[in-house]
């Protein structure tokens, strides 16, 4: 009986140790932007200075999350999730945001849009954003990518005056659906 109790204790200690090792603060933070029902299966990446990334957690769905806290032009607390198909677009955004100047970044991205080299996001992909001064003062924001969409193609307005879903940046690769609210 003592052997069985000792064996159970050893198994319990090993199990707790394994669970403790699986927790990673970088992963946990990046996943804060993800909807609760998608977190467990999401991939988490960490961006490197050369706009490539390391995979911190391999997921089983198409959602990928990452931390942008403190990056140029980002809030002190900034995490984001989107479709794994959008990683090239995110890398392109990060590269030009690294200029550290909103006007220069916008001009550079507009030039890419004009010459056709702006990476398109996956049509219909969701972008989950969470940002603010810190985690406790962050707000969530969700958009849906609809590159190239216009009022004519979707039947939605291109401004927020009607108080309904609307298309921001209509007609560009950056076109996305905005929802009224926060």
**Secondary structure (3-state) at 19:** helix
Residue 126 lies in a domain: no
Residue 97 lies in a domain: yes
Report pLDDT for 15: 46
Return the residue matching tokens 């002190």.
76
Residue 40 lies in a domain: yes
The enclosing H or E element of 26 equals: helix 25-30
Distance separating the N- and C-terminal Cα atoms of the chain: 60
Residue 60 lies in a domain: yes
Q: pLDDT (tens digit, 0 to 9) for every residue of the chain, 182 residues total?
A: 555 444 444 444 444 444 445 789 999 999 999 999 999 999 999 999 999 999 999 999 999 999 999 999 999 999 999 999 999 999 999 999 999 999 999 999 999 999 999 999 999 999 999 999 999 999 999 999 999 999 999 999 999 998 899 999 999 999 999 988 75
Overall number of domains in the chain: 1
Report pLDDT for 180: 80
Residue 86 lies in a domain: yes
Report pLDDT for 179: 87
For residue 102, give its domain range: 24-121
How many CB atoms within 10 Å of residue 24? Answer: 13
Residue 109 lies in a domain: yes
Backbone torsions φ then ψ of 52, nearest 5 degrees:
-105, 180
Report pLDDT for 124: 97
Residue 43 lies in a domain: yes
């Amino acid at each position: 009986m003592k052997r069985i109790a000792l064996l159970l204790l050893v198994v319990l200690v090993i199990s707790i140790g394994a669970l403790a090792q699986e927790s990673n603060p970088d992963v946990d933070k990046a996943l804060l932007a993800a909807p609760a029902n998608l977190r467990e299966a999401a991939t988490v990446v960490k961006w490197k200075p050369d706009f490539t990334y390391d995979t911190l957690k391999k997921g089983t769905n198409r959602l990928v999350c990452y931390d942008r806290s403190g990056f140029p032009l980002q809030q002190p607390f900034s995490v984001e999730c989107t479709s794994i198909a959008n990683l090239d677009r995110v890398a392109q955004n990060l590269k030009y945001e690294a200029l550290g100047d909103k006007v220069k970044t916008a001009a550079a991205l507009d030039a890419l849009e004009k010459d056709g080299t702006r990476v398109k996001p996956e049509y219909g992909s969701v972008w989950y954003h969470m940002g603010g001064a810190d985690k406790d003062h962050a707000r969530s924001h969700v958009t849906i990518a609809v590159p190239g969409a216009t009022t004519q193609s979707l039947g939605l307005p291109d401004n927020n005056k009607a108080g309904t879903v609307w298309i921001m940046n209509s007609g560009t690769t950056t076109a996305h659906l905005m929802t009224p609210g926060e």
